């Protein structure tokens, strides 16, 4: 039975922590040193686009210094070898799932290696710094390019596809997320209300731990490869 399960996996910052990318809400996390309202809202960008571009330029550059860890690689292997469908939905804006071998990843909060034109909505791959003097390659608006990050108050990407995947899955797994940010934090309740099995893999009990049938606590770099081995054998 397990070899044909359809699985939806939601990941958060905890899966990239062992690669050296800071989480948001742990001790020393990003939101301890930067206020959300200064760098992660449309209002912050309207007020001080240079500061916001700088914040994301640093994070984009930092991606070049890190590598996928055993958890990303195990999920890449699961997507390649499992007979059922494996849908990976990530809140992370890094590209470590892809570099770990995953072929199809839904980045519901956007991507650091992508730009979005605030004038015409065009999105394109971009791996270098972005400045407020840059032009959109599609509509040529100067200052159009902004980080392709879903900020607080904006609608996450691909919600329809995510809901469809949860409806069609047998098992919903959450990895390395605090369960503090909706709508992602509500996926487990959606899965439960549809009668799906649910599993959490996290360093510590998350805010929504009690919603899961099973919660395994420990580092993703250990727990995820162990769980993937279980599914594949």
Binding test (CB under 6 A) with ligand OAD, winner from 7, 10, 12, 98: 12
Residue 204 binds to ligand OAD (criterion: CB under 6 A):
yes
> By CB under 6 A, is residue 157 in contact with ligand OAD?
no
Q: Which of 82, 97, 109, 126 is catalytic?
A: 109
Q: Name the CA dihedral angle for 167, 168, 169, 175, rounded to a multiple of 10 degrees.
A: -60
The C-alpha atoms of residue 26 and residue 30 are separated, in whole angstroms, by 8
- Binding marks (x or -) toward ligand OAD, 23..52, rule CB under 6 A? xxxx--x----------x------------
- Should residue 14 be labelled a site residue for ligand OAD when binding is judged by CB under 6 A? yes
Instruction: Please give the residues from 72 up to 101 whose contact with ligand OAD meets the rule CB under 6 A.
Output: 91
200 binds ligand OAD (CB under 6 A): no
Q: Which residues are catalytically annotated?
A: 109
Which residues in this chain contact ligand OAD in the complex, by CB under 6 A?
12-14, 17-18, 23-26, 29, 40, 91, 109, 150, 176-178, 180-181, 202-204, 206, 219-220
């Amino acid at each position: 039975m397990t070899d044909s399960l359809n699985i939806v996996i939601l990941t958060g910052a905890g899966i990239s922590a062992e690669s050296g990318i800071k989480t948001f809400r742990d001790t020393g996390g990003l939101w301890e040193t930067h206020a959300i309202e200064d760098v992660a809202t449309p209002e912050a960008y309207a007020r001080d686009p240079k500061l916001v571009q700088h914040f994301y330029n640093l994070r984009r550059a930092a991606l070049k210094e890190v590598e996928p860890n055993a958890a990303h690689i195990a999920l890449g292997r699961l997507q390649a070898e499992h007979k059922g469908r494996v849908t990976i939905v990530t809140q992370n804006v890094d590209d470590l799932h892809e570099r770990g071998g995953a072929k199809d990843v839904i980045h519901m909060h956007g991507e650091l290696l992508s730009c979005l034109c605030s004038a015409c909505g065009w999105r394109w791959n971009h791996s270098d710094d972005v400045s407020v003097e840059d032009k959109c390659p599609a509509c040529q608006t100067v200052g159009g390019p902004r980080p392709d990050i879903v900020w607080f108050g904006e609608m996450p990407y691909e919600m329809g596809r995510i809901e469809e995947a949860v409806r069609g899955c047998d098992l919903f797994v959450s990895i390395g997320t605090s369960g503090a940010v909706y709508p992602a934090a509500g996926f487990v309740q959606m899965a439960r209300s549809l009668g799906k099995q649910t599993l959490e893999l996290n360093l510590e009990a998350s805010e929504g731990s009690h919603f899961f049938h099973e919660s395994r606590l420990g580092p993703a770099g250990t727990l995820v490869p162990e769980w993937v081995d279980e599914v594949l054998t």
